[in-house]
Amino acid sequence: MRLTVFGATGGTGQHLVRQALDAGHHVTAVVRNPGGLPRHPLLETVVADVMDSAVIGPALTGRDAVVSALGPRGKGETTVCSDGARSISTAMRAAGGRRLIVVTASGHIVDEGDGPFTRNLVKPLLGRFLREAFADFVRTEQVVRDSGLDWTLMRPPRLTDGDPRPYRTAVDRNVRGGITLARADLAHAILNVLDDSTTVGRTVALGY
């Protein structure tokens, strides 16, 4: 598979690139600074600003799937994830691409997958401390839903640098009690949904 990754030098992005290469995928990493990326015959690095849809277009042409692992920068007001999703979607439509996977989070979503403690205490507290990041995730998800592409939204809980281990997933609802996930496992789950047509137009939550 030919895969383009945004946020490839971030915590999740680095795991995703390595695992994709190990699986034999051809990876195009679109980054502002290529430092930290491995040297590999199947890896192409493109230095570009994700917010410029015209510039990133060639990196999306002829690709089988595109992944945005962009994350918020800092704790203040941010639009990086939603602006990035908008630019990527625009460039994909122009390039004729279809499959888009975007990482947001489960923290801003309260649904039937959550237990009473999480629903009534944990998530209200998270919403206060991460208000700006969560607001950007809400905007991001709306951009993706409106994109007209074959999208899947990945909603992990709090991410860690722990070792991979068995994890749970849930479609269109949160994972009961799933409060953490290793970035390596998020990367693994992203690769699993790339060609899974049952996740098109759906959200996939994760957790232990």
CATH class entry, domain 2-207: alpha beta
What pTM does this model have? 0.93
User: Which pLDDT score is estimated for 134?
Assistant: 86
86 pLDDT exceeds 80? yes
Q: What is the pLDDT of residues 3-44, one digit of tens each?
A: 999 999 999 999 999 999 999 999 999 999 988 899 999 999
Question: Would you kindly state where each structural domain of the chain is located, as residue ranges?
Answer: 2-207
Q: Strand 202-207 to strand 168-171: parallel, antiparallel, or no bridges (unpaired)?
A: antiparallel
User: Which pLDDT score is estimated for 32?
Assistant: 92
User: Which pLDDT score is estimated for 116?
Assistant: 81
Label residue 75 by pLDDT band (50, 70, 90): low
* Phi, psi torsion values for 130, nearest 5 degrees: -120, 35
Sequence-ordered list of residues with C-beta below 8 angstroms from that of 32, at least 6 positions apart, any chain: 47, 48, 49, 50
User: Which pLDDT score is estimated for 72?
Assistant: 82
User: Which pLDDT score is estimated for 124?
Assistant: 63
Q: What is the pLDDT of residues 46-56, one digit of tens each?
A: 999 999 999 99
Residue given tokens 């281990």 in the structure block: 165
